[in-house]
Amino acid sequence: MELSITTLALLVLTPLLVWRIYARIKKQMLRQRSIYQRHYTGILVFGAMILVPAAQLFASPYNLAALLVGAVGGIGYGVWGLKLSRFEATPEGYFFTPNARLGLVMAMILVARILYIGVEIYANQGKGLPTPQLSDSPLTMLCVGLTSGYFACYSVGLLRWRRRAKRENM
């Protein structure tokens, strides 16, 4: 088996890419200021990551079911993640520290699945096979639902905490 330069570059760069994504996500799992706009954005983006594919998957009940099961599981993990988070209302502002392991695992599940699809696309080049779509696989939809449900639920929980903390400090 002969390795092309492109394949060799892919083999070398993929671990580097995974490491950089991991490092970037890990920075987001430290103590951070609670900002309303970010929480609303999280709800909109991750909610759309569930609703848009769901609207397109009515013809594929297994994929739709996988997306919905993943979303429900993600919401469960989101509730658990909120219980493991640390919340602080200080004179400098509102801060929260998410559970780093749980947040990293949720994010890396989706990253790993997208990387797998990318490798699959690369491996099928020139073979006349159709290009896989993100919504073609129940496993991918499960990963999308899990990650999106988790982060959407977490954003909702942060908004609820902020409103409750603001009422208590008045």
For 66-125, what is each residue's pLDDT tens digit?
999 999 999 999 999 999 999 999 999 999 999 988 888 888 888 888 888 887 887 777
- pTM score: 0.85
When pLDDT is averaged across residues 125-145 and rounded to a whole number, the result is 83
DSSP 8-state symbol, 28: T
Kindly indicate the confidence band of residue 60, based on its pLDDT and cuts at 50, 70 and 90. very high
User: Given a cut of 80, is residue 9 above it in pLDDT?
Assistant: no
Closest CA to 148 of 78, 59, 63, 55: 78
Q: What is the mean pLDDT of the chain?
A: 88
d(C-alpha 58, C-alpha 74), whole Å: 21
Position 170 scores a pLDDT of 66
| Poorest-pLDDT segment among 127-131, 138-142, 164-168 | 127-131
How is residue 43 written in tokens?
Answer: 């709800």
Q: What is the pLDDT of residue 2?
A: 57
**What ranges do the domains of the chain cover?**
5-169
Q: Which residues pair with 89 in a beta bridge?
A: 94
Looking at residue 38, its pLDDT comes to: 94
